[in-house]
Amino acid sequence: MSAPARRPVFLDCDTGIDDAVALAYLLASPSIELVGVGTVSGNIDSATAARNTLDLLALAGRTDIPVAVGAHDHLSHGYGGGATHVHGENGIGGVTLPTATRAPEDASAVDLLLELSHRHAGDLHLLTIGPVTNIALALAADPSLPERISGVTAMGGAALCAGNITPVAEANIANDPEAAATMLDAAWDITLVPLDVTMEHTLGEEDREALLASANPFTRAVGEMLDHYFDFYRPIYGERGCALHDPLAAAIAVGDGVTATRAPRVPVIVDTTSGPGRGQTIADLRGQRPRPRDHDGVRTRIVLEVDRPLGPHLVDTLTRF
Amino acid sequence: MSAPARRPVFLDCDTGIDDAVALAYLLASPSIELVGVGTVSGNIDSATAARNTLDLLALAGRTDIPVAVGAHDHLSHGYGGGATHVHGENGIGGVTLPTATRAPEDASAVDLLLELSHRHAGDLHLLTIGPVTNIALALAADPSLPERISGVTAMGGAALCAGNITPVAEANIANDPEAAATMLDAAWDITLVPLDVTMEHTLGEEDREALLASANPFTRAVGEMLDHYFDFYRPIYGERGCALHDPLAAAIAVGDGVTATRAPRVPVIVDTTSGPGRGQTIADLRGQRPRPRDHDGVRTRIVLEVDRPLGPHLVDTLTRF
């Protein structure tokens, strides 16, 4: 009996501490095969994000996975310098990784995504955990892309909770609202994983210690990076720990650890005005009492609740990795 | 020993079924003295709102309370026809009240508010349960108004819950976003009572029966009106019943029935763009974990939780009225 085929996943990311955690989770998953990575500016610039990704993949011995640099600037504005107060000057909490000998692909992140969408036509799942500039550019370059994508899982937005970079906007979406609007308008199934759920899933000091004690160098590196990330989150949660934004989106995309239990299909638009709501994901969550309901013909679902805490499953997966 | 002085309250409203409930509650309160009412277009046009208010006051034998007609149109646009699907063609659920012999004041709602603000300088509490067009006009006519107002309680907005007339906007604010922005900018203490709390307080069929059995004709009329209102809310709550938007704001203003237990002072701005967020109250509720915190120098608090269900206290008050 042969093992069931792993589902091919393309990751678009801005590595980033929680991107690194998500990457480790994806590599450790028995259910999916990471077939390519594109990078975008967000937590850090796209070139540094690619460097971080290559170094992390080398630590895991996965030099077979192509990494391509994507957009440095966003559709409406230039790269703004990243979130170094959250992710450190180098994007990975100041941790120095062995420099991988491998360089990024000559192809851009857009070209790599399009190429892989043909190679895995109909099967490729797209997971985005940064601003979605590359996705908008890929849709512009080839509007038939959605026909070859099995589905999209995107970390981003805030529906019924506070934003993180404005009172109502989450960073991935607000860093490129026009790109997010383009992605949400395209004809594919999208699972949006907003702050509403990601803020409810955390790691704490004990989890970090478990990661640091791992035999796997990638997992130990993740544990080291979290030191910086925990500092940022300390005033937010009132104790050292962190939210699991990107790892939760990765886990939902993989689908064998946590399951979305409340994720209605509702219209979601992005505020692309220059007003105070710029970058907000406006999800129409009216009419969800007394029970969740899907809107007819809507292909975007927004995750509001999952079945269990991600933390224990994540630590278990990374320490067995 | 003399009874403690009742605090003077000015009510600005768009009567409206839940406005009628709030009005009954205010009249029944032993703690406040309703000294004047202004009307504005919202649930119904401002002239009909004044007619409804006069008829209701006559039912209660309170022909001493002046009622003045306020703005028919809003700052940026004309009256849009009201919410007859919610409140009925006449604004009070199709219930026919005895027509009061009294006419509205010759003075406008703005002039009445300004006059009473002088008469009760420093003591007058302003309670708004409709669009706040009149308040913006009063501030324009006399920018010193806030100096004579002890505080403002306003039903309106949606912070971390769905809106009711757009995915993110509540009707009172969205009917006149510019007026709401003006009110929130003025130098007074505001308690904003948004859908986040008002949707959590309800009346049901048993409550309505208790009101219908009252000896007081105003209370019985309220019970009759609620029949229409319950129909509107049936699909929203999954059973006949209604939200207590305006009554909750009235109860918080009165302060002897329910108390706000979570109401941080945070910056609140109104989206006055023409984008999809128009009319949204953008409250900066970041940083409220692990515990609520007030922003320095901010005079607007937004109510997110109160200490007990309003329903039983409301029914008790109205049936003893």
Which chain A residue shows the shortest CA-CA distance from B283?
Answer: A167
B163, B283, B290 ranked by CB distance to A167: nearest: B283
Cβ B282–A276 below 8 Å, yes or no?
A: yes
Active site annotation includes B227: no
- Average confidence score pLDDT of chain A: 97
Pairing of strands A7-13, A32-39: parallel
Which chain B residue shows the shortest CA-CA distance from A165?
Answer: B286
Which chain A residue shows the shortest CA-CA distance from B287?
Answer: A236
- Chain B interface test: which of A234, A239, A282 (most B C-beta within 10 Å): A282
- CA pair distance B124, B100, nearest whole angstrom: 27
Cβ B162–A160 below 8 Å, yes or no?
A: yes
DSSP 8-state assignment for residue A315? H
* DSSP state string for B22-85: HHHHHHH-SSEEEEEEEE-SSSS-HHHHHHHHHHHHHHTT-TTS-EEE--SS-SSS------HH
> Is the whole model's pTM more than 0.90, yes or no?
yes
Mean pLDDT of all residues in A31-35: 97
Q: Is the distance from CB of A191 to CB of A301 less than 8 angstroms?
A: yes
Cβ A282–B168 below 8 Å, yes or no?
A: yes
Mean pLDDT of all residues in A278-298: 96
Establish, for the pair of chains A and B, how many residue pairs have beta carbons separated by less than 8 Å: 84
In chain A, residues with a C-beta closer than 8 Å to the C-beta of B277 are 168, 271, 273, 275-277, 280, 282
Angle made by CA atoms B222, B228, B229, in degrees to the nearest 5: 75
- CA pair distance A113, B119, nearest whole angstrom: 72
B161, B239, B271 ranked by CB distance to A276: nearest: B271
- CA pair distance A206, A229, nearest whole angstrom: 15
pLDDT at A321: 84
In chain A, residues with a C-beta closer than 8 Å to the C-beta of B160 are 160-162
Band of the pLDDT at B312, cuts 50, 70, 90? Answer: very high
In Å, how far is B224's CA from the nearest CA of chain A?
Answer: 25
Angle made by CA atoms A223, A228, A233, in degrees to the nearest 5: 105
Q: Is the pLDDT of residue A3 over 70?
A: no
In Å, how far is B69's CA from the nearest CA of chain A?
Answer: 33
- CA pair distance B321, B308, nearest whole angstrom: 21
B67-85 pLDDT, tens digit per residue, is: 999 999 999 999 999 999 9
Q: Which two tokens stand for residue A111?
A: 């070209």
Residue type, A160: L
Cβ B271–A269 below 8 Å, yes or no?
A: no
Q: Which residue has the tokens 């702050």?
A: A195
Instruction: Determine which one of B45, B125, B245, B246 is catalytic.
Output: B245
Angle made by CA atoms A211, A217, A221, in degrees to the nearest 5: 60
Q: Is the pLDDT of residue A215 over 90?
A: yes
* DSSP state string for A193-262: E-HHHHTT-EEEHHHHHHHHT-S-HHHHHHHHHHHHHHHHHHHHHSSSEEE-HHHHHHHHHH-SS--EEE
pLDDT at A5: 85
Mean pLDDT of all residues in A141-165: 98
Q: Is the pLDDT of residue A8 over 70?
A: yes
Instruction: Determine which one of A14, A19, A196, A271 is catalytic.
Output: A14
Q: Which two tokens stand for residue A175?
A: 């860093």
ipTM confidence: 0.94
- Chain A interface test: which of B195, B282, B298, B300 (most A C-beta within 10 Å): B282
pLDDT at B2: 60
A283, A285, A289 ranked by CB distance to B236: nearest: A289
Mean pLDDT of all residues in B147-165: 98
Cβ B273–A275 below 8 Å, yes or no?
A: yes
User: If DSSP codes are grouped into helix, strand and coil, which group holds residue B265?
Assistant: strand
pLDDT at B3: 62
